[in-house]
Chains A and B, each alone.
Chain A
Amino acid sequence: MFTNFDFDVIERSLPYLWQGMLFSLGLTALAMIGGIVLGTLLALMRLSGYALISAPASAYVNLLRSTPLILVIFWFYFLVPLAMKALSGDAYATGIGPFYSALIAFTMFEAAYYCEIIRAGIQSVPRGQVHAAYALGLNYWQAMGRIVLPQAFRNMIPILLTQGIILFQDTSLVYVVGLTDFMGAASKVAQRDGRLVEMYLFAALVYFILCFGASLFVKRLQVRYSPASR
């Protein structure tokens, strides 16, 4: 089956594929940071005792979690330029490229998933810790920022990273709006040179090595951070 295999096409296109990979990794890293920051805020809102604060956060999370990522990407491709037009008054919404639309879409989408992880993490911190913090005279933000969140995040590191691996795989979906991430680059070369078999199998291999390697690393972290060994 590999008799007609053209390994040369992979070698020739490596610099282009590398550009795509940098795009994928950059998008993953930025969306992960944005998603965790926004997800933490959403988690704090969902845990609030005031329905006025917790209800909108719950609605947002449930809405995003029942919508397919591709549809969310389409939504933000449509909405972000509209929002920019409204904000800047610039009729053509220049200055915001497709990259930022994708980044905003992934950040908003991942925030819903990170919110649920972080909420569970916060709830895993014993309540006595919060009471003790308040008893010491700390206010809400001090108690959260110095007592609860540091402990919660320590427990959550492995699962946050696992979600990051999923996010990295999901970034391949920017293909649907024609951006050149790693998969986009691979499929453009595949179609230009008529080498679909080689390029798609190579892309699968690269994704597999990266994601499998990362998941092994997370597994090792998990052992190190598990409460029993602390």
Chain B
Amino acid sequence: MDFSVFLQPAFSGGGTYLDWVLSGIKWTLLVSILGWVIAFSVGSVLGVMRTAPLAPLRAVATAYVELFRNVPLLVQMFIWYFVLPEIVPEGLGTWMKTQMPMPEFWSAVLCLGFYTASRVAEQVRSGIQSIPRGQTEAALAMGLTLPQAYRHVLLPMGYRIVIPPLTSEFLTIFKNSSVALVIGVLELTAQARQISEYTFRTFEAFTVATVVYLLITLAVIVAMRALEHRVRVPGYIGTSGK
């Protein structure tokens, strides 16, 4: 075991293998966090649609969730990167193939975001559905419109109830970001493999990657616990720090 390998100058270009690791961490964080922004916004809209009292809205959201949940992420990654430019209108397709900046990166972000949105939608839906019906009825009886009831009553409650499952979705997106390596994003796992191929220090390379993933997990859990504590609803069972 010899971790000094990370201080050696890297095979190509300037810098050391440690720089490869750091660059990998940067891309892992960028892909995951941008993906999460999409996942959280799209997922929230879909989650609300799934509880809406309008059958067509529910049907669209249900179809979305089933479609994205039942196709492996790897396949979706290939479709965003290889298939989408071929089936969109030709002008856009040509732009995506020739001029789009960082096509691997943005394909990975969109893919992860829209994939995770289907999972976030399910959590938001279950959060909203776990609120007693009386609260909606009370809100409507007080003269709020349905959108206002969602905005001021259902969503603020629902989000807080589902913080624990949303935390695990947030953790999952960091792990799933490693799938982006199949379309050439040099994130952490890809860098670990590359370092192992150049230096034959496989054990060291994979250990460092594993430790970084563990640290990311720990950081997310601590941050989410603090958030959960800050926004907890007084009197609700199951929120931390009762």
Please report A residues at the B interface, Cβ cutoff 8 Å: 1, 63, 66-71, 74-75, 78, 169-170, 172-173, 175-176, 183, 187, 196-197, 200-201, 203-204, 207-208, 211-212, 215
Contacts and interface: CB of A to CB of B under 8 A. Distances in A.
Contact of A74 (B71, B193, B217): B193
Interface in B81-109: 82-83, 86-87
B75 A203 contact: yes
A222 B126 CA distance: 17
A212 B72 CA distance: 12
A113 to B, nearest CB: 11
B3 interface: no
A71 B210 contact: yes
A162 to B, nearest CB: 11
Interface in B158-179: 171, 174-179
8 contacts: A63-B210, A66-B175, A68-B179, A169-B73, A197-B82, A208-B70, A211-B71, A212-B66
A195 to B, nearest CB: 11
Interface stretch (B39-47, B129-137, B201-209): B201-209
Given A66-B175, A200-B78, A71 B192 contact: yes
A123 to B, nearest CB: 16
A207 B71 contact: yes
Nearest to A187: B78
Contacts, number: 98
Nearest to A2: B87
Contact of A176 (B76, B182, B203): B182
Nearest to A171: B72
B222 to A, nearest CB: 13
B175 A69 contact: yes
Contact of A172 (B75, B171, B178): B75
B210 A204 contact: no
Given A68-B176, A71-B213, A200-B82, A207 B75 contact: yes
Given A68-B177, A71-B213, A207-B72, 19 more contacts: A66-B217, A67-B214, A68-B176, A70-B181, A71-B189, A71-B210, A75-B210, A169-B71, A172-B72, A173-B74, A175-B182, A176-B182, A187-B78, A196-B78, A200-B82, A207-B70, A208-B67, A208-B71, A212-B66
B79 interface: yes
B70 A212 contact: yes
Nearest to B28: A68
B75 A67 contact: no
A183 B70 contact: no
A134 B188 CA distance: 51
B206 A71 contact: yes
Secondary structure type dominating chain A contacts: helix
Contacts of B74: 172-173, 175, 183
Given A68-B176, A176-B181, A208-B70, A196 B86 contact: yes
A172 B182 CA distance: 12
A68 B213 contact: yes
B239 to A, nearest CB: 20
A68 B175 contact: yes
A204 B181 contact: no
B179 to A, nearest CB: 7
A37 to B, nearest CB: 24
Nearest to B179: A70
A175 B183 CA distance: 12
Contacts of B70: 169, 207-208, 211-212, 215
Nearest to B193: A74
A67 B71 contact: no
B192 A74 contact: yes
Contacts of B82: 196-197, 200
B79 A67 contact: no
Interface string B114-146: 000000000000000000000000000000000
B75 A183 contact: yes
Contacts of A200: 75, 78-79, 82-83
B212 to A, nearest CB: 10
Interface string B49-87: 000000000000000001101111111101100110011
A63 B83 contact: no
A208 B217 CA distance: 30
Q: Nearest 7 A-B pairs (CB), nearest first?
A: A66-B217, A68-B178, A211-B70, A169-B72, A68-B175, A172-B72, A196-B82
